[in-house]
Structure 1
């Protein structure tokens, strides 16, 4: 499996709009992308402006399809101005 983790810091005045957009993005990714197996959205327990994503895809190609999807492109355009910082890391999950 191909794992993607993303950490966002969101501009506080835009936090609720970001949360709403992120909820839609997670739902769309799971419903519209057969090779997206998990899309968890977490918020810091102390600083609600910090968001962490844990996404699981069948492989790198599936993640690339995610990035090329219309719903991702729209999400990225919408939330881009609200993001203070963003860090993306990718991982390979080995079978047990």
Structure 2
């Protein structure tokens, strides 16, 4: 069963461009470099320009734990901290994948 993380970020006003550079780099590196990461989406809120939602799918909890130990995550986590006003992290099990494949 796949492990899903959803992270809701409220970014400090005027800091979104900096945050997006950091999170986009982290997302791309996660999918490219981590065999256990199959999806890492960065979603912009249509009504709140300072809000971002991440949707990440890992093979299992161990793959997510490995993600937390990567260099690209450490760089993102440290550099983005002063840009974030609030953050909510939710963990899920993927129980039904509604893809056409």
Relative to the length of structure 1, the TM-score reads 0.96
Q: 1:83 matched to which residue of 2?
A: 84
C-alpha separation between the residues in 2 aligned to 1:51 and 1:61?
Answer: 25
Structure 1 equivalent of residue 74 of structure 2: 73
Distance in 2, Cα, partners of 1:38 & 1:90: 15
Gaps of at least 5 residues in structure 1 are: none
Name 2:30's counterpart in structure 1.
Answer: 29
Q: Give the total of aligned pairs.
A: 96
Deviation track 1:57-85 (CA, whole Å, cap 9, x = no partner) reads 00000000001111101100000011000
* Residue 19 of structure 2: aligned partner: 18
Question: SS at the partner of 1:63?
Answer: helix
Deviation at 1:94, TM superposition (A): 2.4
CA distance in structure 2 between the aligned counterparts of 1:93 and 1:74, rounded to whole angstroms: 28
Following superposition, which runs of at least 4 residues in structure 1 exceed 2 angstroms of deviation? Answer: none
Distance (whole Å) between structure 2 residues aligned to residue 88 and residue 5 of structure 1: 6
**SS at structure 1 position matched to 2:6:** strand
What corresponds to 1:57 in structure 2? 58
